[in-house]
Structure 1
Amino acid sequence: MLPITHADDAKAASGVSLPIAYSTAVLGWLLSAGVYIAAKWVAPEMGPWALCFWRLLLACAILLPIVHHHYRAIIALIRSRAVEVLLIGTIGLTLCQGMIYTGLHSTNATTAGIIMALSPVMTMVIARIVLGEPLGLRKAIGALLALAGMMVIVAHGDLRALLGLQFSIGELWIVGSAFCWGLYTVLLRRSKFGIALLPTVVVLLGAGSLAAFPFYLWESIYGGGSALHANGLLALAYLAGPGGALMYYLYNRSVEVLGAGRASMLLYLQTVFVALLAYLLLGESLHYYDIWGAAFIIAGLVFAH
């Protein structure tokens, strides 16, 4: 997932054509989908909080030199609003990603990708509660449809499981991650840090890695640590590089031309890419309840917009 701000929804005069901007955005979401595949692949070798900590820290380190022109603004932001930055980074990056990686230990990447498509609807509902933004009848119906889709997926299409509250723990972790992402998006919208998108991403990555460190330390002591081999190192390299720093950079470039609204709406491509990559690389297959759940979620999103 990508940190998304809504400070600038207008097209910037960057000299980049729309086809290139859309291609950049699509590539960014493809790389983002690859994060689910790499995290699932490395799960036997690396704990979720170790993965979360190292991905955030390395992505921050890679991007930090790129935003050197913004160092003064970054330092001023940290000095004046350190607690707020740490809180938002913890919710949107540490908890959101840590929950995804934890959930992927016991559920497949395809299901995780579908459930995370629920996050825009959660954002609408949370924005109504926190910011007082009007929800309206269409958005309310859309939210209910998407919620029904999520319940179909976590109950595996079994009404008895739904009535008996017998859900897979893996899916519930992903639902928690989607909620954290929605809350993060709303808090970020309310905060209005006042600096450009990419430096904001770097600051939040740093804050997220700082918040992830105690979880990583606890996991290292009580969870047996990580036994990384070649596959695990390759996965971590992808998560920090192409799936981390490069993905954030490409998203930032697409926002400059498309605006945050249009660029973030392409998030739904991530779900398609996750399912396709999981089928090709992990041998996963869609279940009937995934398809029905996805149909309800997509219907809810379309209706809400």
Structure 2
Amino acid sequence: MRAAVYLILANLFWAGNFVVGQAAMKTMEPLQLTFWRWLLAAVPLLVLAQLVEKPDWRAVLRHWPVLLLLSTLGMSAYTLLLYSALQHTSALNASLVTAANPALIMVLAVLLLRDRPRPLSWAGIGLGLCGVLLVLTGGDLQRLLTFSINAGELLIVGAITVWGLYTIIARRLGIPAITSTAVQVAMAAAVLLPFAVATGAGLPATRSEGWSLAFIAVFPSLGSYLLWNLALKRTTAANAGNYLNLIAVFTAIITVTLGQPISVPQVVGGVLVISGVLLTSAGGKAPQRPRSSKSTSSPPSPSPAEFRPR
């Protein structure tokens, strides 16, 4: 029961990142929000990693090249693309397209790692793709023929593609989850610093911007990671992964509560995407060769727990 509460709250906070991020993008720039988000989250995450996982920091830093690559993909590029997308599309559309992440990751695993999903998983991927196309086109599939898809939707597709590559690489990294995330966040803040200075990405200028940044730094960046990892001590990764579908659901609820309209294509597309993810997870994939017992990374196949958004 406690694990379920942790997972529900974690996904509620991640949904809030879409809604609050969209509101912040009306007056802030993607680089500004991304830089300050990770800068404010870096030290608390490093402290959290030390308290919870007590890592061997020297051993962790020996992996700095791959950690830097992961930080560039998952923290910098993904977040910049996400917030840029929210300047052009709704939080609900962004969350619905992001919900297709597990299916995209499975496709990338097939292309890059020669993974072989079972037929049920392919059916789930197809169902999820139909849902994404419905959301992208707003129910007007002729838009695909003229390629008249909103820039925001294209940016969010780019974001989940980057996240897919991130997951493919990260799944074999033998570093505890909070420690790995904390180091990547700190690296992202350091790498983005000169760009933030060059572009004048200062602290929020208004109270609303300040509250938006505070929410994103505290709840999606710190709270969700802590709650997620606490839940994983009490339940399986597969079970936790299924809760990620709540992000789109919570985003829809928040959107409606705030009085924003929700369309039939969004509802139907969301149902198809989430159903496709559940079908993909249920299908699993064929067993692979066992890996060395020395590795402490995630299982060979990308589990739903690795699909968590930032």
Same fold (TM over 0.5): yes
1:96-115 equivalence runs, <5 A? 96-115=78-97
- The letter for the 1-side match of 2:90 is N
Whether contact under 8 Å (1:47, 1:219) holds in the other structure is no
Would you say 1:22 and 2:4 are equivalent positions? yes
1:46-125 equivalence runs, <5 A? 46-68=28-50, 73-78=56-61, 80-125=62-107
Q: What secondary structure is seen at the aligned counterpart in 2 of 1:257? A: coil
1:1-305 equivalence runs, <5 A? 19-68=1-50, 73-78=56-61, 80-190=62-172, 192-193=173-174, 195-213=175-193, 215-217=195-197, 219-220=199-200, 228-281=205-258, 283-304=259-280, 305=282
Q: What secondary structure is seen at the aligned counterpart in 2 of 1:267? A: helix
The alpha-carbon deviation at position 201 of structure 1 amounts to 1.7
Whether contact under 8 Å (1:45, 1:227) holds in the other structure is no
Deviations 1:220-265 (A, max 9, x none): 48xxx77620000001001101221111111111111113222122
- The letter for the 2-side match of 1:202 is A
The alpha-carbon deviation at position 60 of structure 1 amounts to 1.6
Q: What secondary structure is seen at the aligned counterpart in 2 of 1:285? A: coil
- The letter for the 2-side match of 1:51 is L
The alpha-carbon deviation at position 215 of structure 1 amounts to 4.9
- The letter for the 1-side match of 2:257 is L
Deviations 1:146-188 (A, max 9, x none): 1121112112221221111110001111111111222212211
Deviations 1:106-162 (A, max 9, x none): 111111111110101111111122222212222122212211211121122212211
CA distance in 2, matches of 1:295, 1:47: 32
Aligned residue for 2:306?
none
Deviations 1:39-71 (A, max 9, x none): 111112210111111111211222222223556
Q: 1:173 to 1:217 in 2, by over 3 A?
A: farther
Q: 1:267 to 1:211 in 2, by over 3 A?
A: farther
Whether contact under 8 Å (1:29, 1:247) holds in the other structure is yes
Q: After superposing the two structures, state which structure 1 stretch, 149-158 or 206-215, moved more.
A: 206-215
Q: What secondary structure is seen at the aligned counterpart in 1 of 2:233? A: helix
| TM-score (ref. length: structure 1) | 0.85
- How well do the aligned residues superpose, as a CA RMSD in angstroms? 1.9
Task: Report the identity percentage.
Answer: 28
Q: What secondary structure is seen at the aligned counterpart in 2 of 1:45? A: coil
CA distance in 2, matches of 1:132, 1:115: 25
CA distance in 1, matches of 2:144, 2:194: 35
Whether contact under 8 Å (1:112, 1:171) holds in the other structure is yes
CA distance in 1, matches of 2:190, 2:116: 35
Contiguous gaps of at least 5 residues in structure 1: 1-18
CA distance in 2, matches of 1:173, 1:85: 24
- The letter for the 1-side match of 2:179 is P
Whether contact under 8 Å (2:204, 2:210) holds in the other structure is no
- The letter for the 1-side match of 2:274 is I
Q: 1:128 to 1:212 in 2, by over 3 A?
A: farther
| TM-score (ref. length: structure 2) | 0.84
How many equivalent pairs are there? 280
- The letter for the 1-side match of 2:87 is H
Q: After superposing the two structures, state which structure 1 stretch, 22-31 or 60-69, moved more.
A: 60-69
Q: 1:214 to 1:173 in 2, by over 3 A?
A: farther
